[in-house]
Amino acid sequence: MEIVQARAGMPSARAKGRWIHSAYDPIKEAQAWAESQSYHEGETLVVFGVGLLYHVEALCARLTRTVPVVLVVPDLSVLADAATVRTWGDWIDRVSWAWGTTEAIGERIAEAGHPLRLITYAPAAALHADSHQAIETAMQRRAAAQAGGQLRIAVVGPIYGGSLPITRYAISALESLGHDVRWLDHSVHATSYHQLESLKNSQHRLALQSKYAEMLSRVTMAQLAEDPPDLVLSLAQAPLILPALEHLRRKKFLTAMWFVENYRHLTYWQQLAAGYDFWFVIQQEPCIAALKQAGAKDVRYLPMAADPAVHRPLELTQTEREEYGSDVSFVGAGYANRREIFPRLLCRDWTFKLWGNEWDGATELISVLQRNGARIDTDTCQKVFNASAVNLNLHSWAGTGLDPEGDFVNPRTFELAACGAFQLTDRRTLMPGLFAETEMVTVSSPDELMGKIARWLREPEQRVAMAAQARRRVLAEHTYVHRMRDLLSQIGVTSPDRIGSILRGARQAEALALTATDSFPSLAATLRTFPSTQRVELKQLAAQIRSRGPMGTLSREDLMVLMLDEYRSETKDLV
């Protein structure tokens, strides 16, 4: 760090051309930052970002002395700089330090024994982003391993499109994790929505589509009001507009979006960025920075996956192999780059079959286009994947050749691997973090594609071995269960008082009873009438009390519960 005197007279700091603390008044800046942080009694605050510790001092001044603070120190030299230029007060005695290896830091944090709330002072944390990410990931895995509580999750899917099947896979995964999931399924409105596309006047069409989305947003809010969930999880293109999201926030709903789209191509996120509490995206930088600049508060990388119950090896009949099989195949829509590349595969020493829709006008490919370019269902896709010797997986792009900015890894990559099917895919910058070179064959140019096809058609045993390795990787790391567990653990660590407490089982009957035993014995006795692992909310507790008999037999605690439940019932209306 470079130590520079601030205009107010105290030392400030810069690093890599950026200010870590204010160039004008670091103390006022730190106080404003500390005031913006939320916390609850009983939590341990884990602070990422050292700098000159102005922010840590301001945080300690705001907190009661019973709130533990752990400061993560990935580089002791930074702490030495802070000690050299600043005099520390008594507040420093309240801070615990965590340094060393990622494992050592994780163990030190775990010793706190309280629910953990991560707090990041971004300007300083950015100097050691990799270390902080590794530590946060370790904490999330710890939270996931401890998770046992059941969440109520409302999933808002799209009207139609590629994220619709992903919505189904995510719901199945959440249910398999034991959560209570309600799907607000807007695909039932697809026919009506598509009718609007027949309007010739574009202004009328766009205006009515906008009104339609607004209407579906109101429908969603009404559904949520009737049975409020712990988390509202949207998938890409879910019909929730910004005013609806802002209304949900005012009503204290927690919202998250899994944006399973290329942020460069579909840019509606710019209007919605500030509306969701959490964004999960399939790209890293500069996608994450772009969303934050547009107003998103919390953006995290969450790649695609496969559902092994759907995407799996199949035993095909001879008739099915003849219908769906070929040396080389591709399943997907007719994007510009594919229309330009695939004619080169014709008249070769291999058979080629092309499956999917949106190939109108691709006259050169009519001879290999199956079912006259009709859209095929998921079952047919799995049969093609299993029957083909080499499955091509070229990510869509509006230009010619291969996408020069190709980063995210599409769902087909994971689905093919889960089927135990061999694939050739274009090179993606995020691929090495998901699959090893022994599990996935990539190509860097269309010219390289021809040679790779010829080579791997000559090596069937190696194809099978590589595909088997890729399938093992998917089953171990890349299923929708993995993704949903990661998503919830990340939200849980960031919101320990809400999602985190439920995942830890703090809302289960036995845990609540233990908490209430000393101060509210009557309430504890009522809680113990529930199964010990059942999640108990205010309305269930009130119903149990009402079932016991006349009001005159109720304790003061019982009456307070009933009064709170009446208040809840009167104020729950959202619309």
Q: At what angle do helices 480-494 and 163-176 cross, to 10 degrees?
A: 70
How do residues 348-365 score in pLDDT, each as one tens digit? Answer: 889 999 999 999 999 999
Residue 358 region, left (φ>0) first, then alpha (ψ -120 to 50), else beta? Answer: left
Taking all residues of the chain, what is their mean pLDDT, rounded to a whole number? 89
Whole-angstrom Cα distance, residue 458 to residue 455? 5
Which of 2-11, 59-68, 455-464 has the weakest average pLDDT?
A: 59-68
pLDDT at 144: 59
Instruction: Report the topology of domain 318-478.
Output: Rossmann fold (3.40.50)
Show the tokens assigned to 440: 């996935």
Question: For 170-179, 278-287, 306-315, 494-503, which range has the lowest pLDDT when averaged over its residues?
Answer: 494-503
Return the higher-pLDDT residue of 394 and 523: 394
Delimiting residues of CATH 3.40.50.2000 domain(s) in the chain: 318-478
Asked if residue 507 has pLDDT above 80, the reply is: no
Distance from C-alpha of 464 to C-alpha of 456, rounded to nearest angstrom:
10
Between 18-27, 76-85, 244-253, 495-504, the lowest mean confidence (pLDDT) is in: 495-504
Least confident window among 29-43, 257-271, 416-430: 29-43
Q: Looking at residue 549, what is its pLDDT?
A: 64
- The arithmetic mean of pLDDT across residues 299-327, rounded, is 96
Percent pLDDT > 90 in the chain is 58
CATH architecture of 2-146: 3-Layer(aba) Sandwich (3.40)
Q: Which segments within 267-397 are labelled E, that is strand?
A: 278-281, 299-301, 326-331, 352-355, 388-393
Question: Above 50 in pLDDT, residue 574?
Answer: no
pLDDT for 552: 59
Q: For residue 575, name the pLDDT band (cuts at 50, 70, 90).
A: very low
Report residue 494 as tokens. 């960031």
Residue 554 has pLDDT above 90, yes or no: no
Query: What was the pLDDT predicted at 456?
Result: 97
pLDDT top residue among 102 and 436 = 436
pLDDT for the residue numbered 504: 74
Q: Which of 13-27, 165-179, 513-527, 561-575 has the lowest mean pLDDT?
A: 561-575
- The CATH T-level fold of domain 152-305+481-491 is Rossmann fold (3.40.50)
Return the residue matching tokens 């045993």.
461
Which of 101 and 229 is assigned the larger pLDDT?
Answer: 229
Asked whether the predicted pLDDT for residue 64 surpasses 90, the reply is no
Query: 387 or 119, which is more confident?
Result: 387
Confidence class of residue 572 from pLDDT cuts 50, 70 and 90? low
List, for residues 138-174, the tens digit of each pLDDT value.
776 666 555 567 899 999 999 988 899 999 999 999 9
Nearest 10 degrees: Cα torsion 293, 297, 301, 303? -100
Backbone φ and ψ for 388, nearest 5 degrees, come out as -90, 140
Tens digits of residue pLDDT in 160-216? 888 999 999 999 999 999 899 999 999 998 888 888 888 888 888 888 888 888 899
The segment(s) of the chain belonging to CATH 3.40.50.2300 are 152-305+481-491
Q: How far apart are the C-alpha atoms of 119 and 121, rounded to whole Å?
A: 7
pLDDT in tens, 445-481: 999 999 999 999 999 999 999 999 999 999 999 999 9
Q: Is the pLDDT of residue 255 over 70?
A: yes
Contacts of 284 (CB under 8 A, 6+ apart): 301, 407, 430
Between 154 and 124, residue with greater pLDDT: 154
Number of neighbours of residue 529 by Cβ within 10 angstroms: 14
Average pLDDT (226-244) is 94
**Strands ordered across the beta sheet of 116-120:** 95-99, 69-73, 44-48, 116-120
Rounded to whole angstroms, the Cα distance separating 463 from 113 reads 49
Q: What is the 3-state secondary structure (H, E, C) of 290-312?
A: HHHHCCCCCEEECCCCECCCCCC
Q: Which residue has the tokens 């037999």?
A: 553
**Among the listed residues 420, 452, 453, 460, the one whose alpha carbon sits nearest the alpha carbon of residue 439:** 420
Q: What is the pTM of this model?
A: 0.79
